[in-house]
Structure 1
Amino acid sequence: MGCKVVVCYGHPEDPEAFEAHYRSIHMPLARRVPGLSDYTWGKCRALDGGSPAYHSIASLCFPDAETMHAGLASAEMREAGRDVRNFATGGVTMFTLEEESVQEQVGEV
């Protein structure tokens, strides 16, 4: 089981400016957060072809809760957090997530 900080970005006023800033400035800042085991980002698409609730979602992955909490308290995370206001004009929703694989449980009753 791993832990994640999930960041859901609302639809920005200028998607091109958002993505340029995110890729060139924010990603390098977030990559420096200590303890990361993975960092993913992707743009959302609705299954029905409509407008999804979010523009994009990032996941900062940690091997365990202790490492995640240390990463959250780091100077690097504070710096990345301060940068969010520079590009996230559509708002942001953040939460933590402790994951478990349910695929391994297929067939178990």
Structure 2
Amino acid sequence: MTYQISVCYGKPDDPAAFDEYYRSTHIPLTEKVPGLSGFTWGICRSLDGSEPRFHAVAHLQFATEDDLQQALASPEMRVAGKDVRNFATGGATMFVQNLESVRSE
């Protein structure tokens, strides 16, 4: 089973500034989190063309629950977490998931 932290970012005051800061500053901080086995993010678009609820969503993956717990307690995660207030003017919703594969290829 894979463990994942998902971060949903609300619409920022300046989307271009958010994107630039996220790429140039926040990603390098997050990549230092111990035990991180995967890290993806993307800008949201709705299927029907309406305004999506979130500007972007990030997924931080960990191979084991122990890796996740160690990451959450790490100084590197605290630094990355505190950095969110520097760019997420639209707010951020964070949660943990236990991912179950429903399809094997």
Place the TM-score, normalised by the shorter chain, in its bin: over 0.9
Higher Cα radius of gyration: 1
Give the residue type in structure 1 aligned to 2:102: V
Instruction: Give the alignment's Cα RMSD to 1 decimal.
Output: 0.6
| Per-residue deviation, residues 18-61 of structure 1 (Å, max 9, x unmatched) | 01110000000000000010100101110111111100000010
How far 1:102 moved relative to its partner? 1.0
1:85 aligns to what?
85
After superposing on structure 2, the runs of 4+ consecutive aligned residues of structure 1 that deviate more than 4 Å are none
Q: 1: distance between equivalents of 2:79 and 2:32?
A: 10
Task: State how 1:43-54 maps to structure 2 within 5 Å.
Answer: 43-54=43-54
Query: Gapped runs of 5+ residues in structure 2?
Result: none
Q: 1: distance between equivalents of 2:85 and 2:26?
A: 11
Counting matched residue pairs gives 104
Give the residue type in structure 2 aligned to 1:31: E
Q: 1: distance between equivalents of 2:42 and 2:20?
A: 14
Task: State how 1:58-77 maps to structure 2 within 5 Å.
Answer: 58-77=58-77
How far 1:103 moved relative to its partner? 1.4
Higher relative strand content: 2
Query: Gapped runs of 5+ residues in structure 1?
Result: 105-109
TM-score (norm 1): 0.93
2:55 aligns to what?
55
